[in-house]
């Protein structure tokens, strides 16, 4: 009995370990290449770690390339998109979760339909729309496009979080003397923090790594985001793998920090104890 339980635990741990190794191996390879000096990249063959490690690619990327600009642009675009989408999706998700109104069914259907098209189909019309407005080659334009594309899914996500919060709570608040909006802000929103964190994280990473629109709507380095910037390491005759990987590692940092920041809310079950449990 005891040994079989132990065996199960060991097997369980090994399964998790195997998964982690598979999932994280590309990241490890990214790191490995980023610290491999150029002269060793092709000469040493395939090995797990170069015989000599260097940070020269990092110094070059930070000091001598346009990467800090790409980085700043990406931060602005992803951050603004995440905030804008989360605010819109919270309000819309709350409405879908709690109110009965005319055409609700059609609005939901319409939002679903927007999720059905391959983005490639929409690039040309969107460019055509943004161009006369002066929104091509601008970060604002990117934020608007990303927001529009992320709001429907984020709304459904937020709606499911609101659905999980008992209606009794805001009814109690309304009887206590709150308007529906005050009840939403003071009672419901604090309880939806895990949902808000999840939505923020989801939208931030989506906007952070988006390539297609960034590539099509932005020309020139001034307004380019980091996924576009990565392409500058590919020239006609060679690919500068070391610098590209170093830039990739650097680009991971904000996303990691962001998730560290919100993970507390992601795992917290704040509604425990609200109602009989």
Partner 1 sequence: MASIDIQSIRKSFGTFPVLHGVDLAIRDGEFIVLVGPSGCGKSTLLRMIAGLEDVTAGEIRIDGKRVNDLAPKDRDIAMVFQSYALYPHMSVADNMSYSLRLRRAAREKIVSAVGGAAAKLGLEPLLERRPRALSGGQRQRVAMGRAIVRQPKAFLFDEPLSNLDARLREQMRAEIKKLHGDLRATSIYVTHDQIEAMTLADRIVAMHAGVVQQVGTPLDLYDRPANLFVAGFIGSPGMNFFEGRYAASGGEAALHLSNGTILPLGRRDGIAAGAPTTLGIRPEHVVLDPRGALEARVDLIEPTGFGIIMHVTIHDVPLKIFTLDRAMLDPGPAVRVDLPQERLHLFDGEGKRLD
Q: Which of 178, 215, 252, 255 binds partner 1 (CB under 8 A)?
A: 178
Interface region with partner 1, contact rule CB under 8 A, candidates 111-119, 197-205, 235-243, 264-272: 264-272
Q: Which of 169, 216, 255, 266 binds partner 1 (CB under 8 A)?
A: 169
Residue showing tokens 């704040």: 270
Interface region with partner 1, contact rule CB under 8 A, candidates 103-111, 169-177, 204-212, 241-249: 169-177
Nearer to partner 1, 50 or 166 (CB): 166
Distance CA 177, CA 173 (A): 6
First to last CA, the chain: 33
Cα angle 99-102-103, degrees, rounded to a multiple of 5: 110
Enumerate the H helices of 65-103 as residue ranges: 67-98
Interface region with partner 1, contact rule CB under 8 A, candidates 109-117, 135-143, 174-182, 222-230: 174-182
Q: Does 270 bind partner 1 (CB under 8 A)?
A: yes
Core vs surface per residue 59-76: b (16+ CB within 10 A) or e? ebbeeebebebbbebbeb
- Whether 153 and 131 have beta carbons less than 8 Å apart is answered as no
Q: Does 187 bind partner 1 (CB under 8 A)?
A: yes
Q: Does 182 bind partner 1 (CB under 8 A)?
A: yes
Would you tell me which residues interact with partner 1 (CB under 8 A)? 166, 168-169, 171-179, 182, 187, 190-191, 270-277
């Amino acid at each position: 009995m005891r040994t079989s339980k132990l065996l199960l635990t060991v097997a369980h741990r090994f399964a998790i370990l195997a998964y982690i190794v598979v999932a994280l191996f590309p990241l490890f390879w990214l790191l490995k290449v980023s610290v491999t000096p150029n002269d060793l990249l092709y000469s040493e063959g395939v090995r797990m770690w170069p015989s000599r490690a260097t940070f020269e690619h990092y110094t070059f990327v930070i000091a001598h390339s346009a990467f800090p600009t790409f980085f700043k642009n990406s931060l602005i675009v992803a951050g603004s998109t995440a905030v804008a989408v989360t605010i819109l999706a919270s309000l819309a998700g709350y409405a879908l979760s709690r109110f009965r109104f005319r055409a609700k069914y059609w609005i939901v259907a319409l939002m679903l339909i927007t999720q059905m098209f391959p983005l490639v189909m929409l690039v040309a019309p969107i460019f055509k729309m943004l161009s006369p407005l002066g929104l091509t080659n601008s970060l604002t334009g990117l934020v608007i496009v990303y927001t529009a594309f992320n709001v429907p899914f984020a709304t459904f996500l937020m709606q499911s979080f609101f659905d999980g919060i008992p209606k009794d709570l805001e009814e109690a608040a309304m009887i206590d003397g709150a308007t529906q909006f005050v009840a939403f802000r003071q009672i419901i929103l604090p309880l939806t923090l895990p949902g808000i964190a999840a939505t923020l994280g989801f939208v931030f990473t989506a906007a952070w790594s988006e390539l297609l629109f960034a590539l099509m709507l932005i020309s020139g380095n001034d307004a380019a985001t980091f996924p576009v910037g990565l392409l500058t390491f590919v020239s006609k005759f060679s690919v500068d793998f070391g610098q590209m990987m170093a830039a990739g590692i650097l680009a991971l940092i904000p996303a990691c920090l962001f998730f560290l920041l919100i993970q507390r809310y992601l795992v917290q079950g704040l509604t425990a104890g609200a109602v009989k449990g």
